[in-house]
Amino acid sequence: MRPMARQEQSLLFAEEQILVMERESLMSICNLPGGQLS
């Protein structure tokens, strides 16, 4: 694999990890007492 392709893949992986962390933090905020959206 070309070094550039590997770099792009790692960037995509990092972005995916950030999205997962953001979603988990949002869920934890919604699960707090008084933090429910419904």
Average pLDDT over residues 7-13: 89
* pLDDT band, very low/low/confident/very high, at 14 (cuts 50, 70, 90): very high
Residue 36 C-alpha from the chain's centroid:
21
Predicted TM-score (pTM) of this structure? 0.55
Q: What pLDDT is stored for residue 34 in this prediction?
A: 63
* pLDDT band, very low/low/confident/very high, at 35 (cuts 50, 70, 90): low
pLDDT tens digits for range 16-34: 999 999 999 988 887 766 6
Cα separation, 26 vs 5, in Å, equals 32
Residue 12 or residue 35, greater confidence: 12
